[in-house]
Amino acid sequence: MTFFEGRILAIESSCDETSAAVVDGRTIRSNIIATQIELHAKWGGVVPEAAARAHLENILPVIEEALQVAGVSLADLAAVAVTNRPGLVGALSVGVSAAKTLAFLQRIPLIGIHHLEGHLSSVLSLPGEVPLPMISLIASGGHTELVLVRAWGDYEILAETRDDAAGEAFDKGARLLGLGMPGGAAIQRAAVDGNPKRYRLPVALSADSYTFSFSGLKTAMLRLTETEGSGLSVADAAASLQEAVVRSLAERSVRVAMDTNAASFALVGGVAANLALRTRLADSLRREAIPFFTPAPELCTDNAAMIGLAASWRLARGDRSNWDLEVSPGSELPVA
Ligand code: KG4
Ligand code: ZN
């Protein structure tokens, strides 16, 4: 695999993190993340208008810090990469405007990157080659997908969720249990002392279809809090919820990896930061002799370094964007 020679400034602002990174070849020189979690916590979800304004406030300080930590100036940059799809239009526009301006003034290449291709490329932060074809589970706040990566840039989505994403199951469960945001990390913490077998929560797994479903889990959690009332053990409920999500993701993942004769399996996206999920998949895939890769937890949740890694192999292939690069709220993974 070939990577771009030269330093890439990467920018990510698709949702509620403002992030900038400097990536050199496949080496991450800096990765700065300003999160807006506290801003949105009081509304219980991301407010698009507030997100865009916070990005506007944070974007230059975050870029400046990324350059400083990497020990480079604007003149040392060889390209600028930015998430331009999918995401909140106002949020994306802030990152794309900044990226365009910097690339234009420095007269260096600009490249727009698909957010999910960024998550997929986060495994390239690990040393060595990742054998292809690979099955990658992208599990985040908005996505739960099993993607066949035949080659970098050549993807096929084999399984999707029919309703909620895995991250949403964590976030909604955390809200019902009175735990804070971000929900996934809060559930993981609360589950440490919990008994995952205490409460029976349904895991929807139809035998014949490659489909995830997490909305039943949300309803079951609501019912559980209503029937148990003040007698509910938050730790046991958190552990039971985590177990249900992990089991659903892991069973389907291993089956798809085996059915497709995958040469490797990768776990990426915000939910990939979950320790129970990482351990379960590592164990199950080892039993099937399928090599397992997952980036460090801070590269699983939204960050600009993964955008820089995707840009690095794309730029090395000669891909470039024009000055009229657009943003798009919904967009399929690129093919080739
Ligand atoms: O990839 P990401 O940062 O943003 C999206 O593109 O959606 O994923 C965010 C999701 C949230 O739903 C959050 O609750 C979940 O990832 N998450 C976790 C953990 N850390 C973040 N879920 C389970 N366990 C964690 N440790
Ligand atoms: Zn993401």
Question: Residue 202 above 90 pLDDT?
Answer: no
pTM, rounded to two decimals: 0.96
Which residue, 239, 238, 245, is CA-closest to 178?
238
Residue nearest to atom 22 of ligand 1 (CA): 184
Tell me the one-letter amino acid at 173.
Answer: G
Q: Give the whole-angstrom CA distance, residue 314 versus residue 18.
A: 22
Return mean pLDDT, the chain: 95
Q: Which of 132, 127, 114, 123 is nearest to 266 (CA)?
A: 123
**CA 145 – ligand 1 centroid, Å:** 14
Task: Name the closest ligand to CA 182.
Answer: 1
Burial of 231 (0-12, 13-18, 19+ CB in 10 A): exposed
In this prediction, residue 208 has a pLDDT band, given cuts at 50, 70 and 90, of low
pLDDT tens digits, 260-309: 999 999 999 999 999 999 999 999 999 999 999 999 999 999 999 999 99
Ligand 1 atom at minimum distance from 182 CA: 14
**pLDDT tens-digit map of 47-92:** 898 899 999 999 999 999 999 999 999 999 999 999 999 999 999 9
Which ligand places an atom closest to the C-alpha of 274? 1
User: For the chain, percent helix, then strand, then coil, each to nearest 5?
Assistant: 45, 20, 35
Annotate 158-173 with DSSP letters as a single string.
EEEESSS-HHHHHHHH
What is the amino acid identity at position 222?
A: L
Instruction: Read off the pLDDT of each residue in 139-166 and give the average, rounded to a whole number.
Output: 95
Query: What confidence tens digit (pLDDT) does each residue in 10-42 have?
Result: 999 999 899 999 999 999 999 999 988 888 877
Taking the CA of residue 181 as reference, the ligand 1 atom at the shortest distance is 14
| Contact of 315 with 111, CB cutoff 8 Å | yes
CB proximity list for 281: less than 8 A, separation 6 or greater: 137, 249, 250, 253, 254, 265, 267, 292, 294
Predicted local confidence at residue 205, as pLDDT: 66
